[in-house]
Amino acid sequence: MCKLVGVSRSGYYKWLNYSKKTSDRDINDKIIKEHIIEIHKKYRGTYGRKRICAYLNKVLDTPINHKKVYRLIGVSRY
């Protein structure tokens, strides 16, 4: 089957095992995304990434950079 697709066996098994893992970063990003969506709905889309960042820094215990908020907004697209 791997020959038909043109993929090495080791590459296939690496992909198969990688897709099952979720990292701590993915879990944290998902939590932050949920907060961003909540803020977006609460303020009807008027907050930008810097205001969302400031709001999240007040609410959450860990500091969040505005670049991370921008990355997560780009991925989620509300």
Model pLDDT for residues 24-62, shown as the tens digit of each residue: 888 899 999 999 999 999 999 899 899 999 999 999 888
Q: Is this structure's pTM higher than 0.75?
A: no
pLDDT of residue 77: 53
Question: If you average pLDDT over residues 3-8, what whole number do you get?
Answer: 92
User: What amino acid is encoded at 38 in this protein?
Assistant: E
End-to-end Cα separation, the chain, in angstroms: 39
**What helix, strand, coil percent values describe the chain, rounded to 5?**
70, 0, 30
Residue written as token pair 């007040």: 58
Q: Let me know: does 56 contact 43? Beta carbons within 8 Å.
A: no
